[in-house]
């Protein structure tokens, strides 16, 4: 497909300006700052707040975007692009407003330290500190700690992929999704698209090499913390939505990372925009309707991945024969995805901490896995849970109750939904994902009240 008209116009105008990578860092940053207002204001959101988060070498500035409403929403931690050298919170402001409003999520945008003054691993360390802080303070931010996504564009997409791997390897924070827009996933640049699209399409091969040299310094660029595609293992990472464009020199990076996730059994969708160039949707109004439509697709993917499945209506009958023993006068059953994955829920840990209180109150508590091959030992090793696990019929039961979501081409995954059952298996009360995390006492109180009403 030929270049889209919006892309061609942008390239014609950009050709009259300097090559940013040939400028001193402060000059290049000033040029980006001058261009940023042309991206547009973005969508209105109810709350925007600039904060500082404790970082490894000092405070890290962040900007919070909240679309409004009283319910706890999913949380997207976002890292801007700019070759690890340029950009900042204003650069991603228009896009973050749109993602918050259209994705119906809280967004925390990170102003990470830039190279060459702060080369690798400064941005990674700051990003992980903010991600950990956001997870720990999700409730204060109006967000749900059980539905956290990491995302970014270009160099920020690289950082987001690296942070998803670090979160897996360090045991948290637990991530439900990764949004990678035009990501650089292998800094060795060993891809055909780098050479085929080396010049004339906004992001050039020389610029990429310059950015990498300034960011990586003397470090081995093949290390996974710089090149996440080269990680030994891509299993147990969160599901991903990956965006690229037909005339993006990093196009093959995106495709290769998608393939690596697929090979590891991780759900991943690749969206390749015909006729467009690197980071066009980030540039907002400069790409008019094309960028707007692309953001709609990205926001829809974000909503679809992080929106909870609605619990079944009360009054339905739960199949008690699926449980390993009787339920007495009241029982609590909660569903969760494969425990070894990044989306092993905060509810699981909350119930584990409160388990003794359920035992003392004689309230049966069951965790129901929708990975039919998962064993009790696998579950316990990951989440530490002592209560009974139901796995062999978990997927069947969840499907019958409408609790499974389907990720394109990669099967079904359960959202975290909690049910209160009476002695006959009738569903008497339900909680959506996030409503239980950190508050299992609310479920226990409801179960006690139900038990006390039984004859």
The residues, ordered by sequence, that sit 6+ positions from 392 with a Cβ below 8 Å of its Cβ are 372
CB 249 within 8 A of CB 204: yes
Do β-strands 143-153 and 364-369 pair in parallel, antiparallel, or remain unpaired?
Answer: unpaired
Annotated active-site residue in 278, 290, 391, 422: 278
Say how far apart CA 361 and CA 447 lie, in whole Å.
9
Annotated active-site residue in 93, 144, 248, 415: 248
Annotated active-site residue in 132, 145, 154, 345: 154
Find residue 336's DSSP bridge partners: 369
Say how far apart CA 158 and CA 155 lie, in whole Å.
5
Q: Is 154 a catalytic residue?
A: yes
Find residue 110's DSSP bridge partners: 62, 79
Lookup: tokens for 277: 């160039």
Q: Is 278 a catalytic residue?
A: yes
CB atoms within 10 A of CB 48: 16
The residues, ordered by sequence, that sit 6+ positions from 177 with a Cβ below 8 Å of its Cβ are 147, 149, 150, 238, 239, 240, 241, 302, 305, 306
The residues, ordered by sequence, that sit 6+ positions from 293 with a Cβ below 8 Å of its Cβ are none
Please give the positions annotated as active site: 154, 248, 278
């Amino acid at each position: 497909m030929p270049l889209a008209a919006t892309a061609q116009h942008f390239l014609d105008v950009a050709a009259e300006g300097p090559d940013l990578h040939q400028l001193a860092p402060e000059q290049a940053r000033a040029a980006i700052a001058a261009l940023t207002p042309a991206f547009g204001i973005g969508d209105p959101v109810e709350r925007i707040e600039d904060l500082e988060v404790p970082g490894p070498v000092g405070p890290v500035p962040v900007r919070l975007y909240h679309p409004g409403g009283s319910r706890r929403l999913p949380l997207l931690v976002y890292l801007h692009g700019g070759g690890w050298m340029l950009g900042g919170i204003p650069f991603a402001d228009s896009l973050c407003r749109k993602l918050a409003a259209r994705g119906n999520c809280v967004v925390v945008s990170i102003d990470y330290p830039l190279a060459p003054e702060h080369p690798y691993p400064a941005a990674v360390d700051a990003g992980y500190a903010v991600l950990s802080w956001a997870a720990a303070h999700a409730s204060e931010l109006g967000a749900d700690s059980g539905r956290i996504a990491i995302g970014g564009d270009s160099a920020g997409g690289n950082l987001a992929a690296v942070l998803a791997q670090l979160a897996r390897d360090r045991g948290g924070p637990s991530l439900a999704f990764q949004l990678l827009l035009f990501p650089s996933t292998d800094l060795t640049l060993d891809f055909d698209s780098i050479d085929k699209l080396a010049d004339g399409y906004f992001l050039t091969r020389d610029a990429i090499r310059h950015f990498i040299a300034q960011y990586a310094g003397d470090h081995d660029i093949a290390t996974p913390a710089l090149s996440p595609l080269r990680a030994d293992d891509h299993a147990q990472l969160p599901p991903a939505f990956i965006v690229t464009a037909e005339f993006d020199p990093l196009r093959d990076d995106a495709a290769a990372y998608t393939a690596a996730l697929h090979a590891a059994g991780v759900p991943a969708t690749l969206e390749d925009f015909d006729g467009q160039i690197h980071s066009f949707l980030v540039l907002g109004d400069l790409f008019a309707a094309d960028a707007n439509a692309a953001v709609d697709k990205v926001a829809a993917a974000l909503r679809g991945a992080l929106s909870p499945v609605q619990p079944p209506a009360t009054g339905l009958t739960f199949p008690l024969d699926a449980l390993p023993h009787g339920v007495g006068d009241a029982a609590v059953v909660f569903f969760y995805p494969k425990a070894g994955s990044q989306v092993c829920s905060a509810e699981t840990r909350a119930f584990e901490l409160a388990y003794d209180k359920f035992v003392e109150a004689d309230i049966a508590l069951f965790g129901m896995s929708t990975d039919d091959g998962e064993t009790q030992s696998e579950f316990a090793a990951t989440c530490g849970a002592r209560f009974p696990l139901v796995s062999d019929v978990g997927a069947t039961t969840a499907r019958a109750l409408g609790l499974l979501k389907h990720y394109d081409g990669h099967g079904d995954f359960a959202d975290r939904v909690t049910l209160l059952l009476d002695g006959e298996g009738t569903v008497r009360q339900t909680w959506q994902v996030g409503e239980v995390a950190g508050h299992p006492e609310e479920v226990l109180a409801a179960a006690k009240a139900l038990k006390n009403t039984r004859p």
